[in-house]
Amino acid sequence: AQTVTQSQPEMSVQEAETVTLSCTYDTSESDYYLFWYKQPPSRQMILVIRQEAYKQQNATENRFSVNFQKAAKSFSLKISDSQLGDAAMYFCAYRSAAGGSQGNLIFGKGTKLSVKP
Amino acid sequence: DAMVIQNPRYQVTQFGKPVTLSCSQTLNHNVMYWYQQKSSQAPKLLFHYYDKDFNNEADTPDNFQSRRPNTSFCFLDIRSPGLGDAAMYLCATSRDLAGVHKSGEQYFGPGTRLTVT
């Protein structure tokens, strides 16, 4: 069974600086998808960034980028120029490309990010 | 704007009194999911519908049921809520299940926070 591990329960960053959130996963599959979701306090979960395992190029979305290391099974999220609105719980998630229940999202336990003004 | 809507946002019910949570979507997505999220934890998938096909997770208690009368709506019924069922319930949708070159990324609603007294 696949697992997702986020080893940093909490992180803190100064406004305007850069922070990296770690995520590792375990799978025997070659075709899958990885996601970072953001869940602000009392607000809904939104997708931050997505990475397809078959793509070698790291995904980027404005200030958010990932470092995808397939061989190492690592998928870290870098937030550049951190803003107060980035404060949230961040979940790393894995989804198999296989059909049926194997394609369910598997979440890590989350990393709570605080941004200091 | 296309979105996932959950009503009510806050629900209080009594121990053992049946309660229904509602989710609707304007995205015209094929798949709808229900997750349970307890404080400071990752969401836990309860079940999902792919169109009218219902898929229950193996460890979802029988106390939890779901209905999807049409593409837009999905309901979560808790037949006899216990104190341990107090949680945030998240509805999510995706266009399709994950597959080859289909990430099946999920879009979440704002959640319903259930309190059991």
Q: Which two tokens stand for residue A82?
A: 């951190």
Residue predicted with more confidence, B91 or B2: B91
**pLDDT confidence tier of residue B1, bands split at 50, 70 and 90:** low
Dihedrals phi, psi of A84, to nearest 5 degrees: -60, -35
Note the pLDDT of residue B104.
79
pLDDT band at B93 (very low <50, low <70, confident <90, very high): very high
Q: How far apart are the first and last CA of chain B?
A: 36
CB contact under 8 Å between B105 and A104, yes or no, is no
Cβ–Cβ contact B83 with A under 8 A: no
User: Which tens digits make up the pLDDT trace of A10-51?
Assistant: 999 999 999 999 999 999 988 899 999 999 987 889 999 999
Residue B13: pLDDT band with limits 50, 70, 90: very high
CA distance A20 to A78: 4
Cross-chain Cβ contact B108/A109 below 8 Å: no
State whether A35 and B105 contact (CB < 8 Å).
Answer: yes
* B100 contacts A31? CB cut-off 8 A: yes
pLDDT, position A102: 57
CA R_g for chain A: 14
Q: Is B40's pLDDT higher than 90?
A: no
Is residue A69 pLDDT above 80, yes or no?
Answer: yes
List B residues 40-69 in contact with A (Cβ-Cβ < 8 A): 40-43, 45, 48, 55, 57
Q: Which residues, 6 or more positions from B58, have their beta carbon under 8 angstroms from its beta carbon?
A: none
Q: Tell me which of A76 and B104 has the higher pLDDT.
A: A76
Q: Quick one: pLDDT at residue B32?
A: 95
DSSP at A86: G
* Option in A97, A98, A105 nearest B106 (CB): A105
For B24-73, what is the HEC assignment? EECCCCCEEEEEEECCCCCCEEEEEEECCEEEECCCCCCCEEEECCCCCE
CB-based contact A31 B111, cutoff 8 Å: no
Distance between CA atoms of residues B92 and B62, nearest Å: 21
State whether residue B103 sits within 8 Å of chain A by CB. yes
SS3 B25: strand
Q: Is the peptide bond between B8 and the residue preceding it cis, with omega within 30 degrees of 0?
A: yes
CB contacts, 8 Å: A35 with chain B? 103, 105
Vertex A110: Cα angle to B57 and A88 (nearest 5): 120
Cα B43 to Cα A17, A18, A80, B35, B48, distances in angstroms: 29, 27, 27, 6, 14
Q: How many CB atoms within 10 Å of residue A37? A: 25
**Lowest-pLDDT range, A96-105, B30-39, B83-92?**
A96-105
Using an 8 Å CB-CB cutoff, list chain A residues near B42: 91, 107-110
Question: With contact defined as beta carbons under 8 Å apart, do B91 and B47 qualify?
Answer: no
